[in-house]
């Protein structure tokens, strides 16, 4: 029987000829990633009684959640991580001047086809955009991997999500992701592998593919995955930190379900508060007054995202009642956006350019909302209280929708200005 892409990677990594959904395999992950939560993980690691981590070359730690530290507690967490990194000789440590972990994993060449990546963050599904198996795990499990070098994984059943057709003007990967999540629902793919395929996916940039795998977590998936191709190879060419193998699903692979979408029918989408699957066509949202626009995050803080916003805002000023915060996903993104004049255009339009990091996405750092305020965010979650204030509302949309909304002061349709 044929295997899906996820099954093939897990079989290969487990040293087996084939695996079946439901079967458990034990693998040594290619990389195990954690961020500021490494402070909690290292305490759990110490409880195991193991002195040295199994392999200091395979542990990746990236500080991104609260950078630079806003309080003494956070500063002490960072301090304990830096000490641990030195003590253990962990090579892949990226301090506060790098960027959001899921973006850094791609830029620094960890996201490689055929690899198995696990991380203590729910959006560790992101590296799937490179044809890797990537999933979020718990903190104790990261500590256990640090100690033993292995993790057991239940081979998930796979769903196939096929998207064909050309995306209309003003419609982006984020709109497609929201549309799919609205359809499948927030629990519709729990514990499943979701494999995205079809001409629309093949036509997408790497950055756009990352939006889909990043947001796979929002339908409950264990992992999201896209077959690697020439674009993937082009991206990793000068970045890859190790060998990789491009794998393909078998022709006769068995998928538990198949979903098909026609991208040419799509319109811009908005996820209303307080769940990601509360998705509406933009028509339902037009005119909703917005106090803060948040452009950034591991979902939509890449160059193409800032660029489309700059295209819309060039030579214009954002609405006087709106605060617009821009958090490039990494310093590499920041530098490229700077070189290309994108940051200058956004700043001239009245946006506040912040330092790369998770920012206000999870309410632990800059850009918290006031009571009764509404935010249009390009992030992946809009749960009540997510951005630090349970009395605020979060609407999710694409970077283009964010930019036109900042311009008008209320949720607006990017197709009007593109």
Partner 1 sequence: MGRVWKYGDDVNTDVIFPGKYTYKIMSDEEMASHALEDLDPDFAKNVKPGDVIVAGKNWGYGSSREQAVKCLKAAGIKAIIAESFARIYYRNCINLGLPAITLKREEIDKFESGDEVEVDIEKGIIENKTKGFTVKFPPFEGYVMDIIRAGGIIEYIRKNR
**Site mask for partner 1 (CB under 8 A), range 4-23, x = bound:** ------------------xx
Distance from first CA to last CA of the chain, Å, rounded? 48
- Please tell me whether residue 24 binds partner 1 under the rule CB under 8 A: yes
For partner 1, the binding residue among 79, 152, 372, 390 (CB under 8 A) is: 152
Tallying the residues shown for the chain, one arrives at 418
Q: How far is the C-alpha of 348 from the C-alpha of 126, rounded, in Å?
A: 32
Task: Judge contact between 61 and 34, C-beta under 8 A.
Answer: yes
Residue 46 sits in the site that holds partner 1 (CB under 8 A):
no
Contacts of 111 (CB under 8 A, 6+ apart): 105, 117, 126, 127, 129, 130, 132, 134, 236
341 binds partner 1 (CB under 8 A): no
3-class state of residue 154 by DSSP:
strand
* In the complex, least distance from residue 223 CB atom to partner 1, rounded to whole angstroms: 12
Q: How far is CA 269 from CA 175, 213, 252, 286, 362, in A?
A: 5, 18, 34, 11, 22
**Residue of 48, 122, 264, 391 interacting with partner 1 (CB under 8 A):** 48
Q: Which is nearer to partner 1, 103 or 158 (CB)?
A: 158
Site size toward partner 1, by CB under 8 A: 21
Residue nearer to partner 1 on the CB measure, 27 or 310:
27
- Contact flag: residue 150 with partner 1 (CB under 8 A): yes
- Note whether 122 binds partner 1 by CB under 8 A: no
Query: Would you count residue 43 as binding partner 1 (CB under 8 A)?
Result: no
CB 323 within 8 A of CB 352: yes
DSSP 219: G
CB closer to partner 1, 139 vs 231:
139
Q: Which residues have a Cβ under 8 Å from the Cβ of 16 and sit 6 or more positions away? A: 25
Q: Which long-range contacts (C-beta less than 8 Å, at least 24 apart) are formed by 152-155? A: 152/24, 152/25, 152/26, 153/10, 153/24, 153/25, 153/26, 153/27, 154/22, 154/23, 154/24, 154/191, 155/6, 155/7, 155/10, 155/19, 155/20, 155/21, 155/22, 155/23, 155/24, 155/25
Which range of residues in 24-32, 92-100, 224-232, 282-290 is near partner 1 by CB under 8 A? 24-32
Interface residue with partner 1 among 80, 140, 164, 185 (CB under 8 A) is 140
Tokens 């009684």, residue located: 49
Which region among 46-54, 172-180, 299-307, 316-324 touches partner 1 (by CB under 8 A)? 46-54
Per-residue binding string, partner 1, 158-197, x by CB under 8 A, is --------------------------------xx------
x/- mask, partner 1, residues 213-242, rule CB under 8 A, reads: ---------x--------------------
Give the position of tokens 């940039």.
205
Query: With respect to partner 1, which residue has the nearer C-beta, 157 or 373?
Result: 157
Under the binding rule (CB under 8 A), the answer on residue 147 touching partner 1 is: yes
How far apart are CB 417 and partner 1 at their closest, in Å? 42
Q: Interface residues with partner 1 (CB under 8 A)?
A: 22-26, 47-50, 138, 140-141, 144, 147-148, 150, 152, 154, 190-191, 222
């Amino acid at each position: 029987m044929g295997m899906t892409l996820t099954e093939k990677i897990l079989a290969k990594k487990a040293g087996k000829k084939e695996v079946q959904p439901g079967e458990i395999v034990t693998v040594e992950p290619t990389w195990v990633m954690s961020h500021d939560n490494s402070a909690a993980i290292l305490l759990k690691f110490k409880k195991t009684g193991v002195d040295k981590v199994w392999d200091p070359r395979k542990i990746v730690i990236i500080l991104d959640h609260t950078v630079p530290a806003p309080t003494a507690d956070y500063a002490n967490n960072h301090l304990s991580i830096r000490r641990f990194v030195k003590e253990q000789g962990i090579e892949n440590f990226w301090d506060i001047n790098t960027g959001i972990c899921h973006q850094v994993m791609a830029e620094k060449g960890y996201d490689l086809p055929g690899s198995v990546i696990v991380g203590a963050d729910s959006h560790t599904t992101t590296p799937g955009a490179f044809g890797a198996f990537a999933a979020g795990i718990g903190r104790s499990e990261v500590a256990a991997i640090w100690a033993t070098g292995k993790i057991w994984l239940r081979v998930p059943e796979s769903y196939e999500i096929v998207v064909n057709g050309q995306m209309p003007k003003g419609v982006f990967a984020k709109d497609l992701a929201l549309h799919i999540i609205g359809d499948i629902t927030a629990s519709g793919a729990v514990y499943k592998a979701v494999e995205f395929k079809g001409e629309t996916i093949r036509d997408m940039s790497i950055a756009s593919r990352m939006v889909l795998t990043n947001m796979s977590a929002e339908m409950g998936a264990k992992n999201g995955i896209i077959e690697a191709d020439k674009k993937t190879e082009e991206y990793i060419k000068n970045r890859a930190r190790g060998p990789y193998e491009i794998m393909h699903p078998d022709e006769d692979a068995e998928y538990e379900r198949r979903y098909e979408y026609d991208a040419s029918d799509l319109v811009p989408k908005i996820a209303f508060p307080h769940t990601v699957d509360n998705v509406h066509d933009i028509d339902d949202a037009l005119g909703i007054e917005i106090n803060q626009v948040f452009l950034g995050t591991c979902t939509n803080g890449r160059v193409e995202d800032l660029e489309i916003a700059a295209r819309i805002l060039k030579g214009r000023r954002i609405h006087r009642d709106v605060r617009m915060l821009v958090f490039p996903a990494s310093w590499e993104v920041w530098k490229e956006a700077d070189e290309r004049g994108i940051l200058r255009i956004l700043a001239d339009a009245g946006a506040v350019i912040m330092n790369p990091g998770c920012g206000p996405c999870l309410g632990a750092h800059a850009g918290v909302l006031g009571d009764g305020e509404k935010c249009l965010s390009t992030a992946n979650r809009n749960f009540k209280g997510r951005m630090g204030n349970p009395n605020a509302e979060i609407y999710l949309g694409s970077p283009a929708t964010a930019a036109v909304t900042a311009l008008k002061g209320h949720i607006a349709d990017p197709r009007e200005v593109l």
